[in-house]
Structure 1
Amino acid sequence: MAPSKYKTPPQAPPMFTHTPESLLKDTEQILSQSKELQDRIVADVKPGSAKFKNVLLPFAQDDNKMSLRTHIIGFYQAVSTDEKLRDASTEAEKKMDDFSIDSSMREDIFQLVDEVFKKQKDDQSLDAESRRLLEKDHKGYIRMGLGIPDGPERNRFKEIKKRLSELSISFQKNLNEEQGGLWLKPEQLEGVPQDVTENLKKGEEGSENEGRIFLTFKYPDFFPVMKYCKNAETRHSLMVANENKTPQNVKLFKEAIVLRDEAARILGYPNHATLRIEDKMAKTPKTVDDFLGDLRSRLAPGGLNEIEVLKKLKKKETGKADNYFLWDHRFYDTLMLEQDYQLDQNKIAEYFPLQTSIEGMLGIFESLFGLAFVKLEGADRDAISETKKGSDIVWHEDVQVFSVWNDESEGNGFVGYLYLDLHPRDGKYGHAANFNLQPGFINENGTRRYPATALVCNFSKPTPKKPSLLKHDEVVTLFHELGHGIHDLVSRTIYSRFHGTATVRDFVEAPSQMLENWCWTPSQIKSLSKHWSYLSPDYESAWQAAAKPDEKRPAESMPDDLISSIVKTRHVNDALFNLRQLHFGIFDMSVHEPASHDYVANLDASSLYNRLRKEISKIDGPEALGESYDWGHGEATFGHLIGGYDAGYYGYLSSQVYSADMFYSVFKKDPMDGKEGRRYRHQVLEKGGSRDEMETLKDFLGREPSTEAFYKELGLS
């Protein structure tokens, strides 16, 4: 039961009781109300009388209210088990996007916003966040084509924006709905942990797949096979099949990059990248290209050296290593960690049961940021549900819910709701991500609206004999996504559009990347660890039943030698890891920064993707076996480039510059310094996107950011 002082949140959690019909009806109602408001303001506010409070403020308050419902309406397509509800969510999102495009291209509204901008852009009586809203909104209208004279070009621009919305929604839906995989014989999976293979679907008796098992492309199946399967042909087949799992997305991706380029040129930009980066921290594509190029030249020699070492290991294992293939890398990287560094990932995973890892992580956030997490179960869920049915406040029975509070040092007030949806299922979003369900903001009456945020991940499910166990890299992933969730929860902005992670793309990853450092700190690894046999008497019995005769039960917390084996491997094969990130970033810039529109219109994106991977990562693909560069379509599985990271994927690398600087400058000497944790919470996380991110960063550091810690961490300084 929840502690009494944290028992009853002042705001009920969101409800997940939609049907396909109610979802679409709600969408129509929301859009109709918003349209009425727009028409009323245009009718009531005469030219010459437009001000922030009678134009932008009512629109911003309408955005606030809409977002409480629209985020959830769009969320169902990522998590619902009901295919019809997922389809309705997709249809609703398209309607909302179309409405947003139509609204952002209304000349009559733009005239009012333009008038306010000219009168009030430097008005010091407006608070800083409202001035930022005015500036962003005004620029948003211009970037939606309202600087283009009314006529065929503007109509074409609107057509493109609507089609790009359709492409984005269809692309992600294809990824979410993908259910492919390979039927394999058990002997083809030699070396793969039994925990993985015993949970795979078995071929039916009498069918062509009798005696085989079905391996999907979902993370809990795919990664263990790439890391542990001794059969190189199996890894080869799986890797190529995974790259080709959504062939219908090939045309969608190509159409998207061509249309983006056309739209940018209509607006007067030389390419899509220039348009997208203008408002980010980097400001220009040249800054991005110079950063990526410099990092590539620094990393390339290290990558080649790492490949030579790995090839020696491959030769020792197989007798031959003329090539080092893409399907070799996870396998030999894992083998090297085991043989040279005594890193036993399966042994380590025994100390990271999913549930206790979550509890440990939340404990770290409690100490650092002055928070309290209260898990809501049973009667506690019923009590806070508007319907008094606890099942109505979740979208699936596996979902965990926490009410989040400030601790005593921060005033004991309510913070928001955190949801965890951690296991794979059909139709669910296939990666790991944080979704805002309801943003926080200031209500019209001056009270606070509290946020709700969800982590959607794909970790293996527990069984009666063993809980869900995390490899160390999965611990890092979970901590990273929880970092986004905390950013979402503790943000305190006036307007929903600036809430939490609504920052520029080349900063948004920095707070979570900084928190990953805690997963490499010995004291924190120990505090997160608990051997799974100590979770319950049943699990203790299961461990004993599987143990060898006279095998001693492991210690409850992870032994120091295992912790040491984790920490000392942090930068093993780091150059190859970062060259992989560079491949993604440089491919992204290449397709969005073409020399001409004809170039992108005639581009074979798949061949470019594979050729750049070979040139940058130095690892061989099937082209080394005589195949052409269009052997796979990795760009068709690359949701980031369709889902908002277009001309922005470099942000994963540039954010590391900021995250390393913050960690080494402030937290390295004492990662659990609560005073600095609270300063970070209030000076960085709380601000969301409500102020210029570079100013936020400089305030926290007390100086301009530096690349020194980043390059030092990579051994490149």
Structure 2
Amino acid sequence: MAPDHLRKPPQAPPIFTATAQSIVDDAKRLIESSRKVQDDVVAKVSPDSATFASVMKPLAQDENVMALESHILGFYQAVSTEQQLRDASSKAEELMDEFFIETVMREDVFKLVDAALKKGEALDPESRRLLEKEHKDYIRNGLGLPAGEKRDRFKEIKKRLSQISIEFQKNLNEENGGIWFTREQLDGVPEDVLGELKKGEGENEGKLRLTFKYPDLFPTMKYAKNAEVRKQVMIANENKCNQNAPLFREAVVLRDEAARLLGYPNHAAFRIEDKMAKTPQTVNTFLGDLRTRLAGGGQKEINGLLALKKADYEARGESFDGRYYLWDHRFYDRLMLEQQYSLDQQQIAEYFPLQTTIAGMLKIFEELFGLEFVEITGEDRAQIAPTGKGNDIVWHEDVQIFSVWNDKGEGSGFVGYLYLDLFPRDGKYGHAANFNLQPGYIDANGNRRYPATALVCNFTKPSAKKPSLLKHDEVVTLFHELGHGIHDLVSKTIWSRFHGTNTVRDFVEAPSQMLENWCWTPSQLKSLSKHYSTLSPEYKAGWQEAASTSTEAPEQIPDDIIANLIRTKHVNDALFNLRQLHFGIFDMTIHEPSSHEYIQKLPISTTYNTLRKQITLMDGPEAIGLGDEWGHGEATFGHLIGGYDAGYYGYLSSQVYSTDMFYTIFKDEPMDKAAGRRYRYTVLEKGGSQDEMKTLTEFLGREPKTDAFYKDMGLA
């Protein structure tokens, strides 16, 4: 049990007791309350008397308070098991989005913000940034347009884009397709995956239903020996949400129209203007340079994988057509790691049971950043719940909740709440992501309001004989998302607008990407590991039975396995990064058309598939006569509808920053506490409260460079 002083957080956690009706009612109440604040400012202040304190401050304080409820109202659609709650959450988000569009197009408020900015008052840097950004937001949302037809059309487009985004993500969350296969067809897929699949009845008697959720999809693509099965699964997965294809097209066309209304040549120019890259040309040069550097390595990797495929086909007595297909890649990539690097991902996973891995990760963050994580269980939940009930401070029984504190060295104060929601459910968000539930900020009385943040993932569920086990790439994913969570927790800003991960999109991934490096550090891998058979007599018996042995497994991952794993960090790395480049270049292609007519006519799915073939160097179904419209991968690409539009390049460009930070500060001594604290206070604590390049330069002691990025990739 936690020591007494860590059992009573000074702020209660939020509660999750909403009904479908209350979600919509609460959204309407928040909107009315916020609209009244805006109306009051307009009624009381004139352009002559407009100051930061009389105009911006009440608006920003209202934004702070609203975020305490609004984030959670929109969160239910990603995690609730009840269809009605998810629908109500989508509806609430739509209402709030429409209100935000109305807000940023209020000319009466804009005139006051404009007047306040022109006063040129002496303000603290964060408040000055808030005022300048708010002013620019009004202009970027159409108030630079003359009142009338053009402005009305712009507002109409913004509302429709909000509806599209909500519907698109809802379709992805609700997706529940699958394919029935016999056990024979799924030969090679690990038994613990097959054992969890739904068993067929009637016409599907003797078959298993494979869904497109990650715990089913990835092991099948990696281990199914039958290439026809992998092909079928891959094509079906690319077509699992085809109702999103027309929504995607509509969004791209509307974005282009809106950007042109504002006087920009295209949507990319509009979006990138206020990011670190500043111009599409900078982005295109970066992506083009990377593509040129990677192409040779990619072809070399394909040749190696083709040789492996040829040998595999010959060993089976099957004819080989000399092609390397998209559905081959996960399979032969895995086979290469096993055969040429003695790397067995299933064996590695045995050393990373989910709960001990999480405990190990939290310990790393405790040491580096001076934190303490206390899991809140049993009656402690009821003690801290505002209602006195323990079950309503989480939204599902599987969810873990931690109170987070500073350690003694950092002053022992409360930091916030961390939630972990780790297993798949029907209707749940299907990827891995971090969601801010409540931001931190300074309230109207000058007191700190503490944040609450949630990790939503989809790892394999535990069974009687095995806990949930993480493949190494899942360990990296968990570290990455937990990195976003830590950013959210330790951020300390005045205004919620800049809290935590509210940075520009081409920087937001850098802090999390940097922390992924700990998953490739031998000492850290060792400390994170614990063989699952050592956790209980039942697990031990299950492992010995599966391994046909009476011996005991080493408690921690052996050094030779770690060494093998580290050796593979950059195996087929060019192909991995070419895949990322496909996403980034597709994103820029559709958001940077030469004319509006061009984007209206552009065949988007064909463009997606053709670019994929050209950039990733792998053959798709078009090579076997299925045409260029064989799949609609863009319809499953939530990033480009959910905020990464003309911004997906940020995953690659922020890797430049993250690698530079790691190599410069942490590589020689990853657990250097002084460096960890400096990183916490110089980078993470700042959130988006100052220019991100300033944050980076202050931490590095110089401007960032690409040297470490290219060196790490072997492209220097």
**Could you tell me the TM-score, scaled by structure 2's length?**
0.99
Task: State the partner residue of 2:137.
Answer: 140
User: Does the CA contact (< 8 Å) of 2:47 and 2:116 recur in 1?
Assistant: no
Query: How far off is 1:127 after superposition?
Result: 0.3
Give the C-alpha shift of residue 545 in structure 1.
3.4
Letter in 2 for 1:219: Y
Q: For structure 1, which runs of at least 5 residues remain unmatched after alignment? A: none
Match runs of 1:561-640 below 5 Å? 561-640=560-639
For 1:533-544, list aligned pairs within 5 A: 533-544=533-544
Shift of 1:5: 2.1
Distance between the aligned counterparts of 1:411 and 1:538, measured in 2?
A: 42
Question: Retained in 2: the 8 A contact 1:404–1:414?
Answer: yes
User: Alpha-carbon deviations, 1:535-586, whole Å to 9, x = none?
Assistant: 122222322333414x421100001111111100000000000000000000
SS of match in other structure, 1:434: strand
Q: 1:416 matched to which residue of 2?
A: 416
Q: Per the alignment, in what secondary structure is the counterpart of residue 140 of structure 2?
A: helix
Structure-2 residue corresponding to 1:665 = 664
Provide Cα deviations, 1:301-336, integer angstroms capped at 9, x if missing partner: 000000000000000001325110000000000000
What corresponds to 1:383 in structure 2? Answer: 383
Q: Is residue 2:437 matched to residue 1:437?
A: yes
Which residue matches 1:156?
153
Find out whether 1:560 has 2:559 as its counterpart: yes
Could you tell me how far 1:437 is from its partner in structure 2?
Answer: 0.2
Q: Does 1:191 align with 2:188?
A: yes
Aligned-partner Cα distance in 2 for 1:530–1:424: 24
1:503 has 2:500 as partner:
no
| 2:128 aligned with 1:126 | no
Query: For residue 176 of structure 1, what is the aligned residue in structure 2?
Result: 173
Alignment check: 8 A CA contact 1:357 1:528 kept: yes
Cα distance in structure 1, aligned partners of 2:548 and 2:260: 68
Distance 2:472 2:599 in 1: 40
Does residue 167 (structure 1) correspond to residue 181 (structure 2)? The answer is no
Give the aligned partner of residue 209 of structure 2.
214
The CA RMSD over aligned residues, in Å, is 0.7
2:290 maps to 1:295: yes
Distance in 2, matches of 1:91 and 1:410, equals 42
Matched AA of 2:533: S
Q: Distance in 1 between matches of 2:51 and 2:546?
A: 72
Aligned residue pairs: how many?
711
Given that 1:311 and 1:321 are in contact with CA atoms closer than 8 Å, whether structure 2 keeps it comes out as no
Q: Which amino acid aligns with 1:280?
A: K
Q: Deviations along 1:169-204, whole A, 9 cap, x unmatched?
A: 000000000000111111110000000001100012
1:249 aligns with 2:244: yes
Amino acid at match of 1:405: W
Q: Which residue of 2 aligns with 1:344?
A: 344
Counterpart of 2:53, as a letter, is K
2:197 corresponds, among 197, 200, 225, to 200
How far off is 1:25 after superposition? 1.0
Distance 1:443 1:561 in 2: 53
- Separation in 2, partners of 1:3, 1:649: 44
Q: Which SS does the other structure have where 2:154 is aligned?
A: helix
1:17 aligns with 2:12: no
- Distance in 2 (alpha carbons) for counterparts of 1:223 and 1:684: 34
CA distance in 1, matches of 2:442, 2:625: 61
**Residues 198-222 of structure 1: CA distance to partner in whole angstroms, max 9, x if unpaired?**
1100012xx1111110000000000
**Is residue 315 from structure 1 mapped to residue 310 from structure 2 by the alignment?**
yes
Deviation at 1:388, TM superposition (A): 1.0
Q: Counterpart of 1:431 in 2: which secondary structure?
A: coil
Query: C-alpha separation between the residues in 2 aligned to 1:497 and 1:248?
Result: 34
Percent identity of equivalent pairs: 69
Shift in Å at residue 253 of structure 1?
0.1
The whole-number CA distance in structure 2 between the counterparts of 1:703 and 1:128 is 21
- The residue that corresponds to 2:78 in the other structure is 78
Match of 1:282 among 277, 280, 283: 277
What amino acid is aligned across from residue 165 of structure 2 in structure 1?
A: S
Secondary structure at 1:374 match in 2: strand
User: What is the alpha-carbon distance in structure 1 between the residues aligned to residue 487 and residue 47 of structure 2?
Assistant: 41
**Aligned with 2:267 (options 268, 272, 276):** 272
SS at match of 2:204: coil
Give 2:347's aligned amino acid.
K
TM-score calculated relative to the size of structure 1: 0.99
1:358-377 correspondence to structure 2 within 5 Å = 358-377=358-377
Matching of residue 6 in structure 1 with residue 6 in structure 2: yes
Counterpart residue number, 2:317? none
d(CA) in 1 for partners of 2:257, 2:291: 30
- Kept after mapping to 2: 8 A contact 1:683/1:696: yes
2 CA distance for matches of 1:653 and 1:321?
Answer: 34
Contact 1:405 1:414 in 2 (8 A): yes
